[in-house]
Chain A
Amino acid sequence: MRRLSRLLAIAAVGLALAAVWEGYKLIGQSIGPEGGPSWLPVATDDLTMPHTWDILAAFVEPVQRGRSETLAVFLLRSAWFTLREAALGFAIGAIVGLGLALIMLRSRFLDRGLVPWINISQTVPLIALAPIVVTWGRTTFLSDTQAVSLIAAYLTFFPVAVNGLAGLKSPDPASVELMRSYAASWWQTVIKLRLPAARAYLFPAFKLAATLSVVGAIVGEISAGVRGGLGRVILDFAGRYTTGPEKLYAAVVAAGLLGLFVFWLANLAERRAMRGRAVELS
């Protein structure tokens, strides 16, 4: 019941957004020349703002004249390609992030010395970094798609490292003292106390990292020139915008849905991992 009402609420907001889009378009076209009056920030002709139903219809039309595959299936295939890159990137980022958090927990020196560098790492624009990673990858055994995963990992390790460290440090002193009274080793304290306590910090980071991994994979594909994924599709459709603007919009919707899907996966994982506690929180 709760689930149904939530779905209804989401659908209602989606419809409202579509209505705003169509409303804006309608106003522009009814008061101005073709494309709307020049004082509107975005022109309202069908090339700039295709109708929402045209975008939806594009999904079931063939992806290209003469091909039987529909756009939806084509996008699904591309999304699957990107998802695999993103998943690998997420896994690498999560492991690296958690590893860094543990290192910073272990060493006060690295805690102080590493944090600024981790912060700086995220100020480097991904677009600038991606070609470097791809170039490096080509000199080693890495394939271009694996290089794309690395680019995704570059985005995902950050929230995991930062939140992970906060989570590992979150147990109260009394709990830490209790473990010490048991003469527990550093690792035992991490496994039995710090990691379980860190879950409440790690899962929000995982959710963020999951969506970032999709962003990283798409941007990585575009700058690495990898074909087969959503990044390339977006690039291609942008190049052929004038002959089919709704296709680009459809691809953007697909990218958004892919992000939503991985977020949902991470959310599901959180619920499973936080079972027990969740009863009280909800």
Chain B
Amino acid sequence: MESTTDATEPAVAIRGVVKVFGAGTDEALTAIDGIDLTIAPGEFVSLIGPSGCGKSTLLRLIADLLPLTGGEISVFGKSAEAGRVDQDYGMAFQSAGLFDWRTVAANIELPLELMGWSKADRRARSAEMLELVKLPEFGDRYPWQLSGGMQQRVAIARALAFRPRLLLMDEPFGALDEMTREHMQNELLAIVADLDTTVVFVTHSIPEAAFLSDRVVVLSPRPGRIHSIVDVPMQARTAELREHSEFFKTATEIREALRAVEATIPSAGAPEPSPSTGEAAE
């Protein structure tokens, strides 16, 4: 089920993707078994599903941090590897993962440094990003002098510092309290709207998915497959939306899909069929 098929190149195209960990060994584990998904430029897509269904794995496959077992993934019409080498995406994870020997500004500048930006340009950009995540005064501090929510904002600033067209986020707000979380969600939406960024967002939170996304992809338990896709009606995503009936309708729809999915979790550990590995990654 694809929402739009306009002429522009999809931001991410996932075709028949299979991921088996330890393929060929007797500990082979099929994490993902045949996922097709096309994400349009500028779209905000959330992945939601039971724990262990392969959400993080799918994100890592898009990021070319794991080799594919089968199928293919293209990022802006290129291979996932070319996407990584060309720095088409930025990444942010549940733990901020800042380098504690670098100041906040130096952390944000890390990808720019690796890309060979001049010092002046880096300074200018990190200052700009700090402004964007509302931490303009904290550039010279060290990460451990910041609260968890502030660290997370720095990590997002780092992920966006070189203006990637694609942002991959794995439960980035998972460790935050409810108030900070909502605040961060609003900020994230403002930032990605500003920079016209495509986002693939992994979350466990139904309200979060309903609030942030254009589409919510509900995955089935391992081996991960797409169970259903919930379209979120176009709306101004303001704080009021959280109390709006449309918002609750979407949340209910996601919740029901998740219920249906959880019901399929087998009670006993039935042996899973191992997929053919003939379709090897190139």
> Which residues from chain B contact A182 at a C-beta distance below 8 Å?
87, 110-111, 114-115
Which single member of A175, A192, A197 contacts B114 (CB below 8 Å)?
Answer: A192
- Docked complex Cα distance between A277 and B102 (Å): 10
- Docked complex Cα distance between A188 and B113 (Å): 10
B110 contacts A177, C-beta separation under 8 Å:
no
> Which residues from chain B contact A183 at a C-beta distance below 8 Å?
84-85, 87, 114
- Docked complex Cα distance between A216 and B93 (Å): 48
- Docked complex Cα distance between A213 and B110 (Å): 37
B117 within 8 A of A: no
Output the residue of B91, B93, B100, B101 with the most chain A CB within 10 A: B101
B114 contacts A184, C-beta separation under 8 Å:
yes
- Docked complex Cα distance between A183 and B65 (Å): 10
A181 contacts B99, C-beta separation under 8 Å:
no
A-B pairs with CB below 8 Å: how many?
A: 47
Within 8 A of A (CB), among B75-106: 84-85, 87, 89, 91, 93, 95, 97, 99-103
> Which residues from chain B contact A181 at a C-beta distance below 8 Å?
63, 65, 84, 89, 91
- Docked complex Cα distance between A56 and B87 (Å): 68
Within 8 A of B (CB), among A177-201: 177-178, 180-184, 188, 192-193, 196-197, 199
- Docked complex Cα distance between A87 and B101 (Å): 28
A175 contacts B100, C-beta separation under 8 Å:
no
Which single member of A174, A184, A276, A277 contacts B95 (CB below 8 Å)?
Answer: A174
- Docked complex Cα distance between A87 and B192 (Å): 55
Q: With A183-B85, A280-B144 given, is the CB distance from A178 to B101 under 8 Å?
A: no
B21 within 8 A of A: no
For B162, give the chain A residue with the smallest CB separation. A182
- Give 1 or 0 for each of B104-123: 1 = CB within 8 Å of chain A CB: 00000011011100000000
Q: Mostly helix, strand, loop or mixed at chain A's interface?
A: helix
B65 contacts A177, C-beta separation under 8 Å:
yes
Output the residue of A174, A178, A188, A192 with the most chain B CB within 10 A: A178
- Docked complex Cα distance between A180 and B97 (Å): 14
Give the total of B residues in contact with A, Cβ under 8 Å: 23
CB distance from A62 to the nearest CB of B (A): 52
- Docked complex Cα distance between A280 and B100 (Å): 11
A196 contacts B101, C-beta separation under 8 Å:
yes
- Docked complex Cα distance between A172 and B97 (Å): 9
- Docked complex Cα distance between A257 and B84 (Å): 55
Output the residue of B87, B93, B95, B111 with the most chain A CB within 10 A: B111
Q: Mostly helix, strand, loop or mixed at chain B's interface?
A: loop
B142 contacts A276, C-beta separation under 8 Å:
yes
- Docked complex Cα distance between A221 and B19 (Å): 63
- Docked complex Cα distance between A181 and B100 (Å): 19
Within 8 A of B (CB), among A154-183: 172, 174-175, 177-178, 180-183
Which single member of B89, B91, B115 contacts A178 (CB below 8 Å)?
Answer: B91
> Which residues from chain B contact A197 at a C-beta distance below 8 Å?
99, 101
Within 8 A of A (CB), among B207-239: none
Q: With A183-B84, A280-B144 given, is the CB distance from A178 to B113 under 8 Å?
A: no
- Docked complex Cα distance between A14 and B65 (Å): 58
For A175, give the chain B residue with the smallest CB separation. B97
> Which residues from chain A contact B111 at a C-beta distance below 8 Å?
182
Q: With A180-B65, A182-B114 given, is the CB distance from A196 to B142 under 8 Å?
A: no
- Docked complex Cα distance between A70 and B63 (Å): 71
- Docked complex Cα distance between A181 and B87 (Å): 8
- Give 1 or 0 for each of B51-85: 1 = CB within 8 Å of chain A CB: 00000000010010100000000000000000011
- Docked complex Cα distance between A270 and B97 (Å): 24
Output the residue of B63, B89, B113, B114 with the most chain A CB within 10 A: B114
- Docked complex Cα distance between A199 and B102 (Å): 13
CB distance from B71 to the nearest CB of A (A): 21
B99 contacts A174, C-beta separation under 8 Å:
no
- Docked complex Cα distance between A265 and B34 (Å): 60
- Give 1 or 0 for each of B173-206: 1 = CB within 8 Å of chain A CB: 0000000000000000000000000000000000
Within 8 A of A (CB), among B134-180: 142, 144
A178 contacts B97, C-beta separation under 8 Å:
yes
For A180, give the chain B residue with the smallest CB separation. B65
B87 contacts A174, C-beta separation under 8 Å:
no
For A281, give the chain B residue with the smallest CB separation. B144
Which single member of B65, B84, B99, B114 contacts A188 (CB below 8 Å)?
Answer: B114
- Docked complex Cα distance between A181 and B65 (Å): 7
> Which residues from chain A contact B114 at a C-beta distance below 8 Å?
182-184, 188, 192
26 A-B residue pairings within 8 Å (CB atoms): A172-B97, A174-B97, A175-B97, A175-B99, A177-B60, A178-B91, A180-B84, A181-B65, A181-B89, A182-B110, A182-B114, A182-B115, A183-B85, A184-B114, A188-B114, A192-B113, A196-B99, A196-B102, A197-B99, A197-B101, A276-B101, A277-B100, A277-B101, A277-B142, A277-B144, A280-B144
What 7 A-B pairs have minimum CB-CB distances, sorted nearest first? A183-B85, A196-B101, A174-B97, A182-B114, A181-B91, A182-B111, A184-B114
Chain A residues within CB distance 8 Å of chain B: 172, 174-175, 177-178, 180-184, 188, 192-193, 196-197, 199, 276-277, 280
